[in-house]
Amino acid sequence: MISERQKRWKQDNTLTPEKMVLARKVLIEIKAGRAVLDALRAYPQVGGGILSKAALVAVYGEMVAKKELEPDKELMKKIRMKPVRTLSGVTTVTVLTKPYPCPGKCIFCPDDVRMPKSYLPDEPGAMRALEHNFDPYTQVSSRIAALESLGHPTDKIELLILGGTWSAYRHDYQEWFVKRCLDAMNASEINPISVDRILDEGSADLKGAQELNENAIHRNVGLVIETRPDEIDPKELAWLRHLGVTKVQMGAQSLDDRVLEMNQRGHDAAATRKAVDLLRAGGFKIVLHWMPNLYGATLESDRQDFSRLWSGICPDEIKIYPNQLLADTELYEIWKRGDYQPYTTAELVELIADIKPEIPRYCRVNRVIRDIPSTNVVEGNKRTSLRMDIHAELKRRGTRCNCVRCREVRAADFKPEDLRLDDLKYQAGSAEEHFISFVTPDDQIAGFLRLSLPQAGSPKTGLKDLDGAALVREVHVYGQSLRVGSEQSGFAQHIGLGTKLLQEAERIAFKSGTKSLAVISAIGTRKYYLDRGFERGELYLVKKAPDLT
């Protein structure tokens, strides 16, 4: 059944002959130097309203194909909708799993029967999943089509699988879900199996879908799942690698055992530390969720708790998710009794502005608020633009955050010869970590690599490829995502930074005495590493140390 929202989107984005005529006129005006919004307003649609940027992108593509217009990168930059989506070098596609029981009993968590645990049906990503009845194939294929209609490259896709606790789902469902996501990426006429067959049947198995994706137009360059710390053990690591997972999100929520118990989290802080240590030993990129304003916490205790993240745990990325008071939760009943009080927006802005500058330079802050519509929030902060408020406060104070996201080069031009190579070494649990980066003169990151050197006491993963190996856990080059094989002057991607970062990682790893260097490659980046001297192992790509005898 098509929702009203889908009907409106289809109506707004259906290209009628009248819209195509208007779009041509608008594009000519923009190319001549007129502001985009002014040009759109100059040619309104019959009956009112202005054309969507999707219409402009579509007509631009048609005019270029018919040689009515020369390819114009500057024009495309102006009409592309939300270019920030692909400024980190890849295009993220988010999908949700079906509703399924979660082992957690957290008092703050919503539990809508239509959704996986902790999600609400009117959150943007959840809304799209519900419209597709949680079908992985149509979620991915429709999202790719929507992104392409807005002018975004979609050949390098980070697949973000959300929905409750991934590890709690049956293995056959997990395998089927990932396979069907890959089938949607693989559905291209240049591939050896037809689009119709992929749609009806899919690849024979997960391995077949993965092999096909290594050369697909839409390559999977990262696979992310979310789970709980108490679900992580060596068997889970092997299973996640079988699926192709490269990054794991976990809800730490707090590192205060008293607060965890009061909120019925179901695990202690030691479980989080153990899980992070094991995931790092397996080469996974680690994203932790941290929640200020939990039941039993105070502004001062949250400040102290945040500092614990950087003592041995050291996540690669964090999401700061202030607790939001929602109806139909156990916390709501506690609030009604007068035993819990949400922070105000002003208190949250002050708290996060206080702690954000202490975030280490190797960590990326992905979000500072859940994208929950304000109509669901009973009391407390209802602003979803909290990040902007915090950065305004930091600017007022004359300070700044030095996290990876705040220093990404994004669309800025730079000269490759001006880049400097930095190696930030730090201790993370039982591993020596190296955050190796290329940095511009004004301290922006053009690209980085995460290298992990296991030490005595590192947890045993049981993974053969990692025996005595150093690990490349991430290679990331920034700038507007470019199509595979394309180049753009002044941008970080495709100027060889990734290769140089790998060479530096090899130098450090083999100098330390490790007998091999393993990389946790995504499916769509395997060829990249194979072309640089790595070989296929069981679950990782591996390069042996040179024989110096």
Bridge partners, 476 (sequence order): 448
Hey, where are the domains in the chain? 4-79, 83-227, 253-407, 416-544
Strand ranges of the sheet holding 247-253, from the earlier edge strand across to the other edge: 91-96, 156-162, 219-227, 247-253, 285-290, 317-320, 364-367
Bridge partners, 408 (sequence order): 445
Q: Are 125 and 187 in contact (CB under 8 A)?
A: no
Per-residue tens of pLDDT for the chain, all 549 residues: 444 544 444 455 566 888 888 888 888 888 888 888 888 888 888 777 777 777 787 788 788 888 888 888 788 777 765 544 444 568 999 999 999 989 999 999 998 899 998 899 888 888 999 999 999 999 999 999 888 877 788 999 999 999 989 999 999 999 999 999 999 999 963 444 444 555 556 788 999 999 999 999 999 999 999 999 999 999 999 999 999 999 999 999 999 999 999 999 999 999 999 999 999 999 999 999 999 999 999 999 999 999 999 999 999 999 999 999 999 899 999 999 999 999 999 999 999 999 999 999 999 999 999 988 889 999 999 998 899 999 999 999 999 999 999 999 876 678 889 999 999 999 999 999 999 999 999 999 999 999 999 998 899 999 999 999 999 999 999 864 444 444 444 444 457 999 999 999 999 999 999 999 999 999 999 999 999 999 999 999 999 998 754
Question: Helix or strand or coil: residue 263?
Answer: coil
| pLDDT of 89 | 61
In angstroms, the CA 286 to CA 281 distance is 11
Q: What is the pLDDT of residues 479-492, one digit of tens each?
A: 644 444 444 444 44
**Whole-model pTM over 0.75:** yes
CA distances to 88, 269, 425, 501 from 441, rounded to whole Å, are 19, 39, 20, 18
Q: Are 265 and 242 in contact (CB under 8 A)?
A: no
The CATH fold assigned to 416-544 is: Aminopeptidase (3.40.630)
Residue 339 has φ and ψ, to the nearest 5°, of -100, 5
Q: Are 126 and 283 in contact (CB under 8 A)?
A: no
In angstroms, the CA 311 to CA 331 distance is 30
In angstroms, the CA 480 to CA 488 distance is 9
Q: What is the pLDDT of residues 426-461, one digit of tens each?
A: 999 999 999 999 999 999 999 999 999 999 889 999
Bridge partners, 227 (sequence order): 250
Residue with tokens 């395998």: 175
In angstroms, the CA 246 to CA 529 distance is 15
The b/e string for 518-544 (b: 16+ C-beta within 10 A; e otherwise) is bbbbbbbbbebbeeeebeebebbbbbe
**Dmax over Cα atoms in the chain, in whole Å?**
80
Bridge partners, 437 (sequence order): 422, 448
Question: Helix or strand or coil: residue 162?
Answer: strand
Question: Helix or strand or coil: residue 375?
Answer: helix
Rama region for 490: left / alpha / beta (φ>0; ψ in -120 to 50; rest): left
| pLDDT of 479 | 63
In angstroms, the CA 451 to CA 432 distance is 8
What single letter denotes the amino acid at residue 154?
T
Distance of CA 68 to the CA centre of its chain: 37
